[in-house]
């Protein structure tokens, strides 16, 4: 700690910070542009100037950039110094010389850092009378709109895009007052984190194209604290709604998790919420040939209730993309003995194994913030950039961390970004990747080990043995691999904080066991390591902590006639198991009830369908891959703009059905009740009631406002339907109000913040007002509660080491490889994501391709026991022979690990992003 004196007041600050950081953390306002808490200081914009005095006797002092000056003990500065104020006004005046002043038509307006800083410095008279410079803009793809005329040349975009996120196709061009930030030619930005440019850019150069297509000012949006549903990472988001549509998703700061950044899947994958083809009312389809008929809610509940009552046995199929509450309520409806998680058997085995290992291996699961602090990483059978991109970005920070010791020796503070970059050069912490396909992290890793899953597991077992001889050894391991294992073990042992990353992408229990052995071996050395397992879907972890049967079991019960009715919750079974198996089950089902918010192939098979709420219309609890239970909150009430819609949370539908079933009208249910019941039902889930404040939570006696206080048009937005303004929707489930009335300030600490706003701070930079220190944690606590805590006990090393993988002449082993864009079910229905998807291809080794006679890019048909798919083939030089890599989203996940045969063959050439079905 250090004491600094600002405008005559003394404060305690962290002496390792710079003055700007320290002052902002104290809640003092200093304007800035080029500085960013996640990217440090570069001193380019000269906006944060203050006067610094040598000591208490110095009454002249000198002007310094607060971002480039250490907050050393005894520092004396004046922010309110006249000359410093005048200079800060001059800086904005210069920045405004060429700025188009197009705020009324600019999409940044209302959450623009440049607007905020201009107001803060008091510059309000234009003196520059000459011609402005104008620029040409570029097409940068479906996510990002480009308007270079607004640029104030703060360099944040390229610093984030290149230095932080490792991008290569965005640059600073030109010199003097003609710096151009863009691509060398028009085209889609390649980085999967490009969307952060919209928040990193202090003005409207980079804006959200998906938002632009249905634009609403920030102050006119209705927000709620959301959790991204597109992968298992659990990133906190701030979705904004207007007129019953999600209009944009912004990052919601979480000090332990996503910090300031999201991946593009999470930011732009929301379009499925707005699809016009969504089921909005209950439907009934008497026979597969009839068109579905719409039902009133009461009629639907009555008919479904009757049908289920008459059924011999009802199976409930849950879903890892639905909330814990919805899954629990389904289990309540059908009974624990008839409940399936809706997850394939192999995947469920993997998920349970991951939970067990996380609790028993002895290494904790690091938060993303902690991931960045590890100094050696082994990625075993995963591609985090595809399966959990935000984790990939955190791993990148860990690997590219500058050499701290040398910096300390030279006295270079960590926030001095360019100096650190100079010092670091190509310094990399060791990163090892064992994965068959090329990954984006390869460029900062040691040469990737391109191996089949069995070989990856064997490598992992060997690494564990090299760390701790008590761990079982792998006999007959190839010499090369043994040497590699030794190197990896050595690097992990040399590290202060080794991190093991693995997961379920390859659906190989052996790989997970191997990762567990390594973690256990490291834990025995008492190293401060970590173990992360990547799960596939948003609530995979949570649902796997319930006691449900796998999907295979449920299908078998149906197809064998053990059960004759099924209730399917937010789950497209065809994406999990092969068509033939799903069809066999649904063909025998007398009553198929499907609750979903998208028209999936499974929903098409429903006797009755009920329109479910998406994350935007529902509340619920999810468990992330970190084992963090987090609540997401309803953003808007769907019936407000569409009175005809009958969309409800799945748990509400299921509770209503339970009521019918038990013929006991227990009345309405609220979120708190169902969350509480779920917590009571499963010991592992007991803490989830603490994941967020309940509906009785109030700040200063007020509910929390979902709408900014400047929200406009409420009295008129429905006037085209009815001039009488309806009562604003009431929320019995949460502490939030569908209104601008309620608490929206920053002074009172709170963990659930729908949107960040503070007086004078309209841009996302307002998050700095909600944190304990800038870049730290929310003052009200970072949201969520961690469930997968270490459990004491005697644990043994796993010993089921698989045999070496051998490519034999007959057929191949199929691997379904995760894909960020298009691999996930719901976001693949969002238009911008569809445009961003790469053309699905299957990966082959050169040997296998030659054997087939398939030309590069020619079509190859993959045939398994239950499935058949035709895709263009791509030969990857180091792809292991005997494997075929299939893109997730184009084939059912159940194909993973199965034997398939390949044939070069005709078939329709797929258009980009289109699924190829046999």
Partner 1 sequence: MNSQRQSPIYRSRLLQPASERAPETHPLTWRLRDDGKVVDLADYEAKEGYRAVRQVLNEHDPQSVIAAMKEANVRGRGGAGFSAGLKWSLTMQGGDMPRGYIVCNADEMEPGTFKDRLLMEQQPHLLIEGMILSAFANNARYGYIFLRGEYVESARVLSQALAEARNAGWLGPDIAGSGFDFDIALHTGAGRYICGEETALLNSLEGKRANPRAKPPFPGQSGAWGKPTVVNNVETLCNAPAVLLRGADWYQGLSGDRTDDGGTKLYGASGLVNRPGLWELPIGVTGREILDRAGGLRDGRNLKAWLPGGASTGFLLPEHLDLPLDFDTVGKEGSRLGTGLMTVVAEDQSMVSLLRNLEAFFARESCGWCTPCRDGLPWTVKLLMALERGEGETGDVELLDKLAADCGPGLTFCAHAPGAAMPLQTALRHFRHEFEQGVRSPEGRARGEPISVGEA
CB of 33 to partner 1, least distance (A): 8
Q: Binders of partner 1 among 616-655, rule CB under 8 A?
A: none
CB of 173 to partner 1, least distance (A): 9
Instruction: With CA atoms as reference, report the closest residue to 505 among 915, 820, 846.
Output: 820
The answer to the question of residue 161 lying near partner 1 (CB under 8 A) is no
Please pick, from the candidates 18, 47, 429, 607, the single residue that binds partner 1 as defined by CB under 8 A.
47
Instruction: With CA atoms as reference, report the closest residue to 729 among 635, 625, 844.
Output: 635
Please pick, from the candidates 87, 139, 243, 697, the single residue that binds partner 1 as defined by CB under 8 A.
87
CA distance 49 to 43: 10
Residue with Cβ nearer partner 1 (172 or 311): 172
Q: How many CA atoms lie within 13 A of 557 on its CB side?
A: 20
Per-residue 3-state assignment (H helix, E strand, C coil) for 666-734: CCCCCHHHHHHHHHHHCHHHHHHHHHCCCCCCCECCECEECCCCCCCCCCCCCCCCCCCCCCCCCCCCC
Do 220 and 242 touch, CB atoms closer than 8 A?
A: yes
CB atoms within 10 A of CB 732: 10
User: Which two three-digit tokens encode residue 336?
Assistant: 């624990």
The answer to the question of residue 20 lying near partner 1 (CB under 8 A) is no
213 CB-near residues (< 8 Å, 6+ apart)? none
CA 905 from chain centre, in angstroms, equals 38
Q: In the chain, count of helices (H) and strands (E)?
A: 27, 35
Residue with Cβ nearer partner 1 (132 or 899): 132
User: Which two three-digit tokens encode residue 73?
Assistant: 């003990």
The answer to the question of residue 79 lying near partner 1 (CB under 8 A) is no
Residue with Cβ nearer partner 1 (49 or 873): 49
Do 42 and 88 touch, CB atoms closer than 8 A?
A: no
Start-to-end CA distance of the chain, whole Å, equals 66
CB of 63 to partner 1, least distance (A): 6
The answer to the question of residue 228 lying near partner 1 (CB under 8 A) is no
Please pick, from the candidates 7, 14, 128, 668, the single residue that binds partner 1 as defined by CB under 8 A.
128
CB of 136 to partner 1, least distance (A): 8
CA distance 758 to 643: 34
CB of 416 to partner 1, least distance (A): 7
Q: Binders of partner 1 among 248-287, rule CB under 8 A?
A: none
The answer to the question of residue 153 lying near partner 1 (CB under 8 A) is yes
Q: Which stretch binds partner 1 (CB under 8 A): 74-82, 114-122, 125-133, 372-380?
A: 125-133
Please pick, from the candidates 9, 56, 425, 724, the single residue that binds partner 1 as defined by CB under 8 A.
425
The answer to the question of residue 896 lying near partner 1 (CB under 8 A) is no
CB of 50 to partner 1, least distance (A): 12
CB of 487 to partner 1, least distance (A): 24
Contacts 24+ apart (CB under 8 A), 583-590: 584/555, 584/559, 585/554, 585/555, 585/556, 585/558, 585/559, 586/558, 587/559, 588/558, 588/559, 588/561, 588/564, 589/558, 589/563, 589/564, 589/565, 590/307, 590/311, 590/564, 590/565
The answer to the question of residue 75 lying near partner 1 (CB under 8 A) is no
The answer to the question of residue 150 lying near partner 1 (CB under 8 A) is no
The answer to the question of residue 148 lying near partner 1 (CB under 8 A) is no
The answer to the question of residue 416 lying near partner 1 (CB under 8 A) is yes
Residue with Cβ nearer partner 1 (411 or 877): 411
716 CB-near residues (< 8 Å, 6+ apart)? none
Residue with Cβ nearer partner 1 (126 or 310): 126
CB of 423 to partner 1, least distance (A): 5
CB of 426 to partner 1, least distance (A): 9
CB of 384 to partner 1, least distance (A): 28
Give the angle 239-245-247 at the CA atoms, nearest 5°. 50
Phi, psi of 567 (to 5 degrees): -115, 120
CA distance 459 to 467: 12
CA distance 544 to 54: 61
Q: How many residues bind partner 1 (CB under 8 A)?
A: 46
The answer to the question of residue 236 lying near partner 1 (CB under 8 A) is no
Please pick, from the candidates 56, 59, 131, 290, the single residue that binds partner 1 as defined by CB under 8 A.
131
The answer to the question of residue 518 lying near partner 1 (CB under 8 A) is no
CA distance 81 to 8: 11
Distances (CA, A) of 415 to 11, 41, 200, 408: 20, 6, 17, 12
CB of 44 to partner 1, least distance (A): 5
Residues in the chain: 918
Do 706 and 739 touch, CB atoms closer than 8 A?
A: yes
The answer to the question of residue 418 lying near partner 1 (CB under 8 A) is yes
The answer to the question of residue 60 lying near partner 1 (CB under 8 A) is no
Please pick, from the candidates 28, 414, 424, 852, the single residue that binds partner 1 as defined by CB under 8 A.
424
453 CB-near residues (< 8 Å, 6+ apart)? 381, 506, 508, 510, 511, 805, 815, 897
The answer to the question of residue 664 lying near partner 1 (CB under 8 A) is no
User: Which two three-digit tokens encode residue 478?
Assistant: 């190839």
The answer to the question of residue 63 lying near partner 1 (CB under 8 A) is yes
The answer to the question of residue 98 lying near partner 1 (CB under 8 A) is yes
Q: Which stretch binds partner 1 (CB under 8 A): 121-129, 374-382, 451-459, 834-842?
A: 121-129
Residue with Cβ nearer partner 1 (172 or 702): 172
Residue with Cβ nearer partner 1 (177 or 483): 177
DSSP H or E segment with residue 629 = strand 628-632
Residue with Cβ nearer partner 1 (133 or 312): 133
The answer to the question of residue 760 lying near partner 1 (CB under 8 A) is no
Please pick, from the candidates 135, 242, 575, 660, the single residue that binds partner 1 as defined by CB under 8 A.
135
Do 156 and 200 touch, CB atoms closer than 8 A?
A: yes
The answer to the question of residue 414 lying near partner 1 (CB under 8 A) is no
**Helical spans, DSSP H, in 361-452:** 368-371, 384-387, 389-399, 404-410, 417-424
CB of 646 to partner 1, least distance (A): 52
Please pick, from the candidates 2, 16, 297, 423, the single residue that binds partner 1 as defined by CB under 8 A.
423
Distances (CA, A) of 790 to 113, 362, 764: 43, 7, 36
CB of 154 to partner 1, least distance (A): 9
Strand partners, 283: 294, 609
Residue with Cβ nearer partner 1 (205 or 685): 205
The answer to the question of residue 38 lying near partner 1 (CB under 8 A) is no
CA distance 266 to 196: 11
The answer to the question of residue 412 lying near partner 1 (CB under 8 A) is yes
CA distance 545 to 419: 47
Please pick, from the candidates 172, 281, 438, 677, the single residue that binds partner 1 as defined by CB under 8 A.
172
Residue with Cβ nearer partner 1 (63 or 908): 63
Residue with Cβ nearer partner 1 (419 or 518): 419
The answer to the question of residue 163 lying near partner 1 (CB under 8 A) is no
Please pick, from the candidates 94, 243, 553, 682, the single residue that binds partner 1 as defined by CB under 8 A.
94
Q: Is 899 left (phi over 0), alpha (psi -120 to 50) or beta?
A: beta
Tell the residue number behind the tokens 């988001």, with chain if given: 237
Residue with Cβ nearer partner 1 (69 or 285): 69
CA distance 614 to 839: 28
Residue with Cβ nearer partner 1 (40 or 578): 40
The answer to the question of residue 77 lying near partner 1 (CB under 8 A) is no
Which residues bind to partner 1, rule: CB under 8 A? 42-47, 49, 62-64, 68, 87, 90-91, 94-95, 97-98, 127-131, 133-136, 153, 155, 172, 174-179, 410-412, 416, 418-419, 422-425
């Amino acid at each position: 700690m250090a004491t600094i004196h600002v405008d005559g007041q003394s404060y305690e600050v962290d002496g390792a910070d710079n003055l700007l950081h320290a002052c902002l953390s104290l809640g003092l306002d200093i304007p800035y542009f080029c500085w960013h808490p996640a990217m440090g200081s570069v001193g380019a914009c000269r906006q944060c100037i203050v006067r610094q005095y040598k000591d208490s006797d110095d009454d002249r002092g000198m002007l310094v950039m607060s971002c480039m000056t250490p907050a050393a003990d005894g520092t004396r500065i004046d922010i309110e110094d006249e000359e410093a104020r005048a200079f800060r006004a001059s800086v904005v005046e210069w920045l405004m010389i060429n700025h188009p002043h197009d705020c009324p038509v600019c999409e940044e307006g209302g959450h623009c850092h440049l607007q905020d800083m201009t107001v803060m410095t008091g510059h309000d008279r234009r003196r520059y009378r000459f011609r402005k410079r104008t620029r040409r803009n570029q097409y940068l793809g479906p996510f990002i709109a480009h308007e270079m005329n607004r640029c104030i040349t703060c360099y944040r975009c390229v610093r984030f895009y290149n230095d932080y996120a490792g991008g290569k196709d965005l640059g600073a061009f030109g010199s003097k007052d003609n710096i151009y930030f863009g691509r060398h030619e028009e085209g889609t930005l390649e980085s999967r984190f490009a969307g952060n440019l919209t928040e990193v850019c202090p003005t409207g150069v980079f804006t959200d194209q998906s938002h632009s297509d249905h634009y609403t000012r920030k102050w006119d949006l209705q927000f709620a604290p959301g959790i991204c549903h597109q992968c298992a990472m659990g990133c906190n988001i701030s979705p904004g709604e207007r007129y019953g549509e999600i209009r944009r998703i912004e990052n919601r700061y979480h000090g332990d998790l996503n910090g300031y950044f999201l991946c593009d899947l999470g930011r732009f994958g929301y379009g499925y919420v707005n699809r016009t083809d969504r089921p909005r009312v209950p439907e009934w389809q008497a026979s597969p040939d009839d068109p579905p008929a719409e039902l009133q809610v009461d009629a639907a509940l009555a008919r479904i209730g009757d049908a289920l009552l008459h059924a011999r046995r009802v199976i409930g199929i849950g879903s890892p993309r639905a909330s814990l509450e919805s899954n629990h309520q389904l289990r309540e409806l059908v009974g624990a003995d008839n409940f399936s998680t809706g997850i394939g058997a192999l995947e469920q085995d993997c998920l349970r194994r991951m939970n067990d290992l996380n609790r028993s291996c002895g290494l904790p699961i690091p938060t993303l913030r902690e991931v960045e602090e590890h100094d050696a990483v082994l990625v075993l059978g995963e591609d985090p950039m595809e399966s959990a991109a935000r984790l990939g970005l955190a791993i990148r920070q860990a690997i590219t961390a500058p050499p701290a010791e040398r910096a300390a020796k030279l006295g270079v503070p960590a926030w001095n970004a360019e100096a650190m970059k100079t010092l670091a050069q190509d310094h990399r912490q060791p990163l090892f990747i064992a994965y068959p396909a090329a990954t984006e992290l390869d460029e900062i890793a040691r040469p990737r080990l391109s191996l089949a899953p069995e070989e990856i597991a064997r490598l992992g077992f060997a690494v564990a043995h090299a760390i701790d001889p008590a761990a079982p050894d792998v006999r007959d391991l190839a010499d090369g691999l043994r040497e590699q294992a030794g190197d990896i073990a050595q690097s992990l042992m040399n590290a202060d904080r080794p991190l093991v990353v693995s997961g379920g992408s390859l659906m190989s229990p052996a790989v997970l066991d191997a990762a567990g052995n390594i973690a256990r071996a490291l834990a025995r050395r008492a190293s401060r390591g970590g173990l992360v397992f990547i799960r596939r879907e948003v609530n995979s972890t949570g649902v796997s902590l319930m006691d449900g049967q796998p999907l295979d079991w449920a299908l078998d019960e149906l197809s064998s006639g053990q059960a004759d009715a099924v209730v399917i919750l937010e789950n497209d079974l065809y994406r999990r198991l092969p068509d033939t198996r799903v069809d066999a089950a649904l063909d025998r089902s007398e009553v198929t009830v499907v609750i979903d918010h998208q028209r999936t192939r499974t929903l098409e098979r429903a006797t009755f369908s009920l329109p479910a709420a998406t994350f935007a219309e529902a509340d619920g609890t999810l468990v992330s891959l970190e084992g963090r239970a987090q609540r997401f909150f309803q953003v808007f009430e769907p019936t407000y703009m569409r009175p005809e819609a009958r969309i409800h949370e799945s748990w509400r539908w299921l509770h209503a059905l339970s009521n019918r079933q038990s013929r006991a009208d227990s009345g309405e249910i609220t979120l708190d009740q169902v969350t509480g019941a779920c917590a009571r039902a499963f010991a592992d889930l007991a803490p989830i009631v603490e994941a967020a404040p309940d509906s009785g939570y109030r700040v200063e006696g007020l509910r929390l406002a979902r709408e900014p206080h400047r929200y406009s048009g409420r009295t008129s937005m429905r006037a085209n339907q009815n001039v009488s303004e309806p009562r604003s929707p009431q929320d019995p489930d949460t502490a939030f109000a569908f209104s601008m009335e309620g608490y929206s300030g920053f002074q009172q600490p709170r963990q659930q913040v729908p949107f960040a706003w503070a007086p004078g701070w309209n841009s996302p930079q307002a998050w700095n007002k909600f944190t304990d220190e800038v870049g730290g944690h929310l003052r009200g606590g970072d949201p969520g509660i961690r469930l997968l805590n270490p459990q004491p006990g005697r644990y043994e090393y796993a010993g089921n080491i698989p045999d070496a993988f051998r490519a034999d002449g007959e057929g191949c082993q199929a691997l379904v490889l995760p894909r960020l864009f298009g691999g996930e079910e719901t976001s693949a229905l969002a238009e911008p994501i569809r445009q961003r998807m790469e053309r699905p291809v299957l990966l082959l080794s050169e040997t296998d391709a030659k054997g087939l006679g398939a030309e590069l890019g020619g079509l190859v048909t993959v045939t398994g026991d239950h499935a058949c798919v035709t895709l263009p083939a791509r030969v990857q030089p180091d792809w292991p022979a005997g494997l075929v890599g299939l893109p997730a989203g184009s084939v059912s996940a159940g194909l993973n690990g199965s034997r398939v045969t390949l044939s070069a063959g005709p078939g329709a050439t797929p258009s980009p992003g289109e699924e190829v079905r046999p």
